[in-house]
Amino acid sequence: MGEGDARAVVVLAHPSPDLYGSDRMLIESVRALVPERRVLVTLPEDGPLAPALREAGAEVVILPVPVLRKAYLTPFGLVRLAAAALKALPAARALLRREKAAALYVNTVTIPLWLVAARLARVPALCHVHEAEDGVPGPVKAALSLPLRLARTVVVNSRASAAALGSAGRGSRIIYNGVEAPGEFTEPRGKPAPPARIVLVGRLSPRKGSDVAVRAVRLLRERGHDVRLTLVGAVFPGYEWFEEELRAAADESVEFAGFRASVGASFAEADIAIVPSRVEPFGNVAVEAMLAGRPVVAAAAQGLVEIVEDGVNGVLVAPDDPAALADGIARLLDDWDRALAMARHARQDAARRFGKDRYHRELRDAVAGLTHAPTRTR
């Protein structure tokens, strides 16, 4: 890259410097595009995602732009958001024009300013939606989906995401995430000898159901099951109160492992992976657990039902229900041979449906459609 690079430039805009689900998918999007295009990624601040993007072949530019957060959903917050947007918009537009961007790829609906900048710079834009906010008030949902009208193409990561967008989701293109198997494969234990080891990988968040997991483990222990829970993840800034509540509710059977850049070791150490999310547009971690060969218990929420089929490749339970989650875990523990059989099937199923090669191909085609540029068959 650099001087003399004649490849078309695609600018990818992303709202976070972290390394969670949609952040990891951005890395896969970069890997899909770099063989044929010069890829430049903008982040609002530096963080662990930046070196991973560079390793994947992208250039990284730090350009602060406002990200839609709940804190903005007040009269004063909206004024602050408008002021921040007016300040950042000229720089975003200037970057697109300076780089002679052939296309803009906006990763999530939480940075709509980039879609405005693309329209002003006359650059065709694609918005990749990773959200499924179907429980928010109508005006908020409308505000989130309105900027999508500025995008030439809308890609969603599940049917749940498309449905949550309502009318804005009609005509959107579904591209399921392409998930990388987490490191070297480690066979699950032939018997989850006490204690049975349960893992939840994801942010400590009400959306991810971390509190549901803590309460479910307490119920299992009250029923006589010797189980241990490891929570792998950290809180989002502003949610420190939630971690404090979790720690107050947890006993010695719960380990707070914090953020881990690689989830492979977390699954390798576990007997069962749980995904008790209240809101989950897709559910990368469910697929990662399947690829790691671990039996999965997931909440029947949004995109998770597009991944897990109860009794076939995992166990589905009612969302936001600690007793149902405890029952689902016990169901696996009480018939471990059946649990391992489902895990083996799930590993093959996940590799077939959510493989990286398929994702790379479909993502390249979507971006090529913005500029009508041909892509090579791979």
Does some domain include residue 188? no
Q: Which residues contact 81 (CB under 8 A, 6 or more apart)?
A: 66, 68, 72
Task: State the pLDDT at residue 373.
Answer: 46
| 7 band by pLDDT with thresholds 50, 70 and 90 | confident
Do 24 and 173 have their domain in common?
A: yes
Q: Are residues 319 and 295 in the same domain?
A: yes
CATH of the domain at 16: 3.40.50.2000
- Please check whether residue 23 is in contact with residue 14, taking contact to mean a CB–CB distance below 8 angstroms: yes
Listed range (37-46, 147-156, 308-317, 366-375) with the worst mean pLDDT = 366-375
| Structural contact between residues 227 and 253, judged by C-beta atoms closer than 8 angstroms | yes
| pLDDT, averaged across the chain | 89
How is residue 332 written in tokens?
A: 């696996």
154 plus 233 within the same structural domain: no
H or E element: which one contains 255? strand 254-258
Q: Which helix (H) or strand (E) holds 286?
A: helix 284-291
Who contacts 248 (Cβ-Cβ below 8 Å, separation ≥6)? none
Q: Percentage of residues in the chain with pLDDT exceeding 70?
A: 89
pLDDT of residue 2: 45
**What residue type is 315 in one-letter code?**
V
Give the burial class of 100: count Cβ atoms within 10 A of its Cβ; 0-12 exposed, 13-18 middle, 19 or more buried. exposed
Span 150-159, pLDDT tens digits: 999 999 999 9
Interatomic CA distance for residues 314 and 309, integer angstroms: 6
Residue 297 CB neighbours (<10 A) = 30
The predicted-structure confidence for 302-314, as pLDDT tens digits, reads as follows: 999 999 999 999 9
Q: Is the pLDDT of residue 293 over 80?
A: yes
Task: Tell the burial category of 59 from Cβ atoms under 10 Å away from its Cβ (0-12, 13-18, 19+).
Answer: middle
Q: Is the pLDDT of residue 378 over 50?
A: no
Position 169 pLDDT exceeds 60: no
> How large is the average pLDDT for residues 178-188?
86
The long-range contacts involving 368-377, CB below 8 angstroms and separated by at least 24 positions, are 369/153, 370/102, 370/103, 370/124, 370/125, 370/126, 370/152, 370/153, 371/8, 371/102, 371/103, 371/124, 373/8, 373/102, 375/36, 376/36
Q: Tell me, what's the pLDDT at 138?
A: 60
Lowest mean pLDDT among 75-89, 240-254, 284-298, 327-341: 75-89
Which tens digit of pLDDT belongs to each residue from 234-286? 988 888 999 999 999 999 999 999 988 778 889 999 999 999 999 999 999 99
Span 340-349, pLDDT tens digits? 999 999 999 9
Q: How far apart are CA 91 and CA 65, in angstroms?
A: 9
Residue 261 lies in a domain: yes
The residues, any chain, with a CB within 8 Å of residue 239's CB and separated by 6 or more, are 204, 205
What range does the domain containing 102 cover? 9-178+355-371
User: Taking residues 226-235, what's their average pLDDT?
Assistant: 94
Sign for the pseudo-dihedral over CA of 209, 214, 180, 258: positive
- Note the pLDDT of residue 375: 43
- pLDDT recorded at residue 4: 47
Closest CA to 203 of 14, 22, 354: 22
Judge if 60 and 119 occupy the same domain.
Answer: yes
Same domain, 274 and 359: no
pTM: 0.83
123 closest CA partner among 134, 131, 113, 115: 115
Question: Do 169 and 234 fall within a single domain?
Answer: no
| Residue 179, SS3 per DSSP | coil
Number of domains in the chain: 2
